[in-house]
Chain A
Amino acid sequence: IAGITQAPTSQILAAGRRMTLRCTQDMRHNAMYWYRQDLGLGLRLIHYSNTAGTTGKGEVPDGYSVSRANTDDFPLTLASAVPSQTSVYFCASSENSNTEAFFGQGTRLTVV
C-alpha cells in the first residue's frame, strides 16, 4: 500500500441497506477526513478525525458514522442508505490539521 487506499472503487446499493466504505493510509498521518463530492458543489466534509480515538462531525454528517480505532483506518458507515447519498466519496488524510490533505481515489456509490 502506498498513500491512501479506498475500497470499494464503486458500488450499487439498494436503499435501506447498510454499507461501510473503507479507507486506509500508510503515511502515519494524524488527521483523516471523509468528503462527498456532488456535481456543481464543492467537496463537503462528512466526518473527520484529528487523531486516533477521536472523531468529529463535519458539514453533512446525518446518516453517516465513523470510527478511528487506530491511526491507519477510518471507515465510513451508512446505516440505512437513501438515494440522496448517491455521490462520490473521498477519504483524505493529512499530517495534522495544518497541512495539506492527500486524497484516496474515491468510491462512487449509487443508491437505488
Chain B
Amino acid sequence: EDQVTQSPEALRLQEGESSSLNCSYTVSGLRGLFWYRQDPGKGPEFLFTLYSAGEEKEKERLKATLTKKESFLHITAPKPEDSATYLCAVQAPHTNAGKSTFGDGTTLTVKP
C-alpha cells in the first residue's frame, strides 16, 4: 500500500528564518511526487512535480528536492504570506487516471 508521511505536523518560523519540510514515501513504481499549497478555506494549489531521484525544482523562496525515499521542501527567508498548509502526494500507476496518495500536510506559520 502506498504511504506518505509528512513532518513536522506544524512549523512556526520567524520571518527570514529558513527551514525544510519533509515528505517520506513508499510507493510501488513512483510516477511522480507532487507538492501543493493549501490556504485556509481553499482547495490545494499545485506547486511542483518531481519524477526522479536527484531532481530539484525552484519557485521564488521554495525549492523541492527528491531522493528515492523522501522529498524536502526548502523554504528560504520565508515571509508571512508563505503561511499555509503544504501537502505532498505520490502517484502510482492505476488505470489512466493516476491515483494520488496524500500526506497529512505540514502547517507552516511565519511570524513577522
Q: Do these two chains interact?
A: no
Q: Which residues of B contact A (CB under 8 A)?
A: none
Q: Which residues of A contact B (CB under 8 A)?
A: none
